[in-house]
Each structure stands twice: as C-alpha cells, then as structure tokens.
Structure 1
Amino acid sequence: MAWGRGAGERRRPSAFSAVIAALVVVALVIAGIAAWQVWGTSWRASAATRQAMSDFSAGCSAGRAQADQNVVAVMSIPSLGVETPVVRGVGKDSLRRGVGWYPDTAAPGQSGNFAVAGYRITNGAPLRHILQLKDGDQIRVRDCRHSYTYSVEMPASGLTVGADAGWVLDAVPGHPERIPSQALMTITANQDQVPSDQRAVLFARLVTG
C-alpha cells in the first residue's frame, strides 16, 4: 500500500530551511544598516551642512568673533570640487556637519598647525576623494575676514598613520619641542573605505593669506 500525504497536510519546514531563512533575514538587516550608514547618514548630513553654512554666514554678518562661532571657517578644494564648513571640534556631531577643527591647534592662517578631520565615507563624506590630491594642489580656507591658500606638500596618499598618532597635530608635526615659525595645515581622514584604525594624513603650507 502506498502511503501519501492527505490533501490538507503540508510539509514541515526542515531545520536547513529555517537556517537559510534566518540567514536571509540577517543579511537583509545588515544590508539595511550598511545602506543607512552610507546613504542615510549622508542625506542627514546634507541638511546639517547647509545649516552650518547658513550659521557661518549669519555669524559673519552679525560681526561675531571667531571664538564665539561654532562654524569657524569654510574650506574649499578646487581640484575636487569640495566646499564644506569647518566646525569647532571633532566629535560626531561636528563631523556630520562638515570637517571638524581640532580646537587645540592653530586657527586658520595662523602660525602653527591648523588641523582638521573629516569622513571619507558616511555623513556626507566631504573628504571622499582626499587621496586624489597631489603635491602643489591648493586648499582654500576663509573665515569672516580673510581668505587663506595652502599648498599641499605631503599628499594623503603618501602617509598613513594609526588613529592614536597625535604627533601629526603638533604645532610642528613630529617636533613638539619646536616653536612654529610657519603656518601649516593638517587634514586627517579615515584611510580605508571600511572602518579601521588607519588614518590618511595630508600636510600643507600657507602660501597666501
């Protein structure tokens, strides 16, 4: 006698099928998180960046001193088509609005090391193409009163350090004992397109301003 299933009976899902279904769900969740990190945070950062630029213009129009402003300058990189606000501090809130200024370093155009940091991925990625800059490329920084032009001397593609390499922020990078006699600029950004503790570092020197 052939034994078969009744018309109303259904095959129970196997353990293998359940595992596959769970893996699919996990993959979809991970993909959703990754999509938000890349596109969602950039969408949110776009609005924050526009507001930061507006705050900067309003502060300049009102004659507020740089020390009283949260957005201290605007940085542009002509060869990359980049223009982004320079926001006081390097915490997450600052970096989702533009590039962040290390407030313990020099102010724009001043003797010493004007140092900023920014993202290459997520949160608008203002430094997405920083590794494309070459020796001699220009970086312009303007505050409410002055405009400064820096020339790249060490491209970011040529120097990678660990996230804890504080020497790049020295007034004279690598020489904390020296008194600065020139106006320098340092840009730090994540080296890789995935999270890591590696940082790409660019050094530039003030040429006009």
Structure 2
Amino acid sequence: MSTTSPEKPRRRARRRRNPVLALLGLSLVVAGLGILGWGAWQYWGTNIVAKQEHAQIREVIADDWGNGMDSDAIGLLRVERWGDDYEVPIVKGFEDEDLARGVGWYEEGVMPGEVGNFAIAGHRVTHGEPFRDFLELREGDLVEVETRTHIYTYELENAGDSLTLDFTVGWPLQPVPDPDLRGEQPTEPKLTMLTCSELFHTRDRNVVFGDLVDEVEKDVAEA
C-alpha cells in the first residue's frame, strides 16, 4: 500500500487589480453617463422647460393686452402650415437666453407691419424647438403675427429648404434683405425668418422671406 499523502489542491493565484485602470474605467463610465445626461437634458429637458415658459409668456401677453398695455414680448407667431395649435411668443433679442424663451426678434430691424425688415429667429431643436418644421415651409405659405393692436399676415417668397447660408452672412438682416441692395432704403414691409439648417450644431442657417399681404386692426382696450 502506498503511503504517499494526497496532493493538496492548488490555490489559484489572485489577480491584483490595477487601481489606475479601475479608476480610469470608473471615470469613463461617469463621463459617459454625464454626456448621456447632458444630451437628454438638451434634447428633452430644455423643450419641457421652454414650452412651459412659452405658455407663461402667452398668459402675460393676454393679461397685458387685456389691460390695454404692450407686453415685454412683442407679439404672437402663427404659421398656417404648422397647424392651428401652433402659437409661439415673439420675444426681444437674438441671444441664446432670448431664443430659449420663444422666437427671437432682431431689435435693430422694424416692428411687425412696418416698412423695412421684420426679422425673427428660432431653434429647430431644443428650447421648445419652435422652428422644428422649418424645412417644410413652402412658397406661398402664410405667416401671421399678432400684436396688441394688429394682426399682420405675410406670404412667403421661398421654401424653407431653398436657401442655406453661413451664419456669418449678414445681408438677411439688412433693412432690405437682398445681397444686391446693401444700403438701400426699404419701401415695403418684409419678413425674414432664420433657423439652423441642421438639427444639431452647424454654421449654416436656413432663411425664408415674406411680403406683407394683409393687415387687420383689432378693437382693443386702451390703457
């Protein structure tokens, strides 16, 4: 009989984790979650907040107009092609914080209905995406702008996907929005609408122009 004792099972050597690699992996996971969270906020969160603010601004406009006073927002925008329920406040300014509150109005231009260039801009995505369907606009579409005293209707001259310009091109904001008429004095009311040409960051802008075709004076209360 053999007296050899049975072999003891070998213990598997434990692999030591590299703390640097573990920390790097954790950092990548956290960064990835941060990027996903930022994207979700930009794409969905800002829309929710902006649309709530649009509704609040419309309420303020209604109260101010009902009391015979002009509001901080200059009016309401409606676009026939975008449906009967489309109504977005037009606020002063072209800065990011302005475009987050509604459609922005270029303050160096003219007011709705006035002779000259009434220029407005809006986001296609994020911050309420008021111009999301901009590329669906077609020549002949009607755009309505309501102020405290009037309702102005403009008819578009071109389609939303027909003109793409680099954001540094400034002639669409001229008093006469025509590259060949720099420095000319305006003789008629014009509408210019601008938005990003892509759903995400881009240097390009899509632009449409319109002519005033109707003006209705409202029966309004005086302050």
Same fold (TM over 0.5): yes
Q: Which residue of structure 1 lines up, in the alignment, with residue 4 of structure 2?
A: none
AA in 2 matched with 1:158: S
| C-alpha separation in 1, matches of 2:15 and 2:58 | 62
Q: Which residue of structure 2 lines up, in the alignment, with residue 61 of structure 1?
A: 66
1:152 to 151, 156, 161: 156
| C-alpha separation in 1, matches of 2:16 and 2:159 | 61
Shift of the alpha carbon at 1:110?
1.0
CA contact (8 A) 1:49 1:96 kept: no
Q: Which residue of structure 1 lines up, in the alignment, with residue 144 of structure 2?
A: 140
Q: Which residue of structure 2 lines up, in the alignment, with residue 201 of structure 1?
A: 207
Q: Which residue of structure 2 lines up, in the alignment, with residue 5 of structure 1?
A: 12
AA in 1 matched with 2:188: Q
1:2-81 correspondence to structure 2 within 5 Å: 3-5=10-12, 11-13=15-17, 20-65=25-70, 69-81=71-83
Q: Does 1:122 align with 2:126?
A: yes
Q: Does 1:170 align with 2:174?
A: yes
AA in 2 matched with 1:34: G
Q: TM-score, normalised by structure 2?
A: 0.84
| C-alpha separation in 2, matches of 1:3 and 1:21 | 33
| C-alpha separation in 2, matches of 1:129 and 1:17 | 46
AA in 2 matched with 1:33: W
- Equivalent residues, number: 203
CA RMSD of aligned residues (A): 2.0
| C-alpha separation in 1, matches of 2:75 and 2:182 | 26
AA in 2 matched with 1:63: G
CA contact (8 A) 1:138 1:150 kept: yes
Q: Deviations over 1:7-33 (max 9, x none)?
A: xxx544467776555433322211110
1:91 to 88, 95, 104: 95
| C-alpha separation in 2, matches of 1:181 and 1:95 | 29
Q: TM-score, normalised by structure 1?
A: 0.89
Q: Deviations over 1:75-116 (max 9, x none)?
A: 001211221000011122221121010011011011111000
Shift of the alpha carbon at 1:56?
1.2
> Is the helix fraction higher in 1 or 2?
1
Q: Secondary structure at the match of 2:74?
A: strand
Q: Secondary structure at the match of 1:150?
A: strand
AA in 2 matched with 1:188: L
CA contact (8 A) 1:118 1:188 kept: yes
Percent identity reads 33
Shift of the alpha carbon at 1:178?
1.2
Q: Deviations over 1:110-151 (max 9, x none)?
A: 111100011001000000001101110111101011111111
Q: Secondary structure at the match of 2:186?
A: coil
Q: Which residue of structure 1 lines up, in the alignment, with residue 112 of structure 2?
A: 108
Q: Secondary structure at the match of 1:136?
A: coil
AA in 1 matched with 2:206: A
Q: Which residue of structure 2 lines up, in the alignment, with residue 185 of structure 1?
A: 191
AA in 2 matched with 1:59: D
Gaps of 5+ in 2: 1-6, 216-223
